[in-house]
Amino acid sequence: MGAHNVESATTRLTSLLIDDVLAVDAGALTSSLSLSEQEKVTSILLTHCHYDHVRDVAAIALSISYFRKTIRVYSQASTLDAISNNILNGVIYPDFTEIPAPNPPLKFCPLEPHKVEDIDGYKVLAVPVKHTVPTVGYQITSGEGKSFFYSGDTGPGLSACWEHISPQLLIMDVTLPNRLEKHAVSGGHLDPRLLGEELVGFKETKGYLPPVVVIHVSPMFEGEIKEEVEQVAKQLGADVTLSYEGVRLNL
């Protein structure tokens, strides 16, 4: 639904939707979905507490409250606490995990890294990645065994992460172009060159490299990032492409 780190008339914040029901990150949940589509969402997985990934938890809560149903929101306890303390705190917005009773629209469900959870028929594995606040990526596997890994926001240093996953598709943070590598690293993000290094590590560890889709792209540098991603794809002989709003990825 959203493939960028900056919102505008033509770009939305990072957000994925699986089979119309399971959302991953909530940067574009309400702006991308009609009310009846929002009603179909059963669960939301959050990678971390940054605003561009969590803000539509509050927005969809209000829509859902009219339907008298409850969406489950999964993340590490520290991420859920940050939302409770700073957004759904009765000041910025109501605590939608409690009101309106008896059917509050949200239920917060803490999860732990490295423990497979069954969520709506999907096997969900949270794996810590490298960002400026506690962050997990998710490997999500369907009942038919189709799987992908979404990194959330991450900087370099993913070798430990690769040991825990074997996805058929990688969806990876690439926020800035190579010339702004210092800023990418200090913000806990990758650029195309750093992504290339991580993908080499993936191939060495796992013995294969699945298709890679790049997300969280800064629209200010999109042309430059696209060219550099194409170079990385060529060097690795790999399928690495940028994602865009509204693109459907079929596994």
Using CB under 5 A as the criterion, which residues of the chain lie in contact with Zn ion when the complex forms? Answer: 50, 52, 153
Residue 64 vs 172, nearer CB to Zn ion? 172
CA 144, chain centre distance (Å)? 22
Q: How far is the CB of 142 from Zn ion (least distance, A)?
A: 26
232/123 Cα distance (integer angstroms): 31
79/92 Cα distance (integer angstroms): 17
Residue 133 vs 200, nearer CB to Zn ion? 133
Residue 15 vs 65, nearer CB to Zn ion? 15
Residue 237: other Cβ atoms inside 10 A: 7
228, with CB counted inside 10 A (0-12, 13-18, 19+), is: buried
User: In terms of Cα–Cα distance, which of 108, 110, 46 is closest to 76?
Assistant: 110
Residue 56 vs 153, nearer CB to Zn ion? 153
Residue 21 vs 220, nearer CB to Zn ion? 220
Q: How far is the CB of 131 from Zn ion (least distance, A)?
A: 6
At residue 92, what are phi and psi to the nearest 5 degrees? Answer: -65, -45
Q: How far is the CB of 190 from Zn ion (least distance, A)?
A: 12
Q: How far is the CB of 152 from Zn ion (least distance, A)?
A: 7
Q: Please compute Rg for the chain using Cα positions.
A: 18
Q: How far is the CB of 75 from Zn ion (least distance, A)?
A: 13
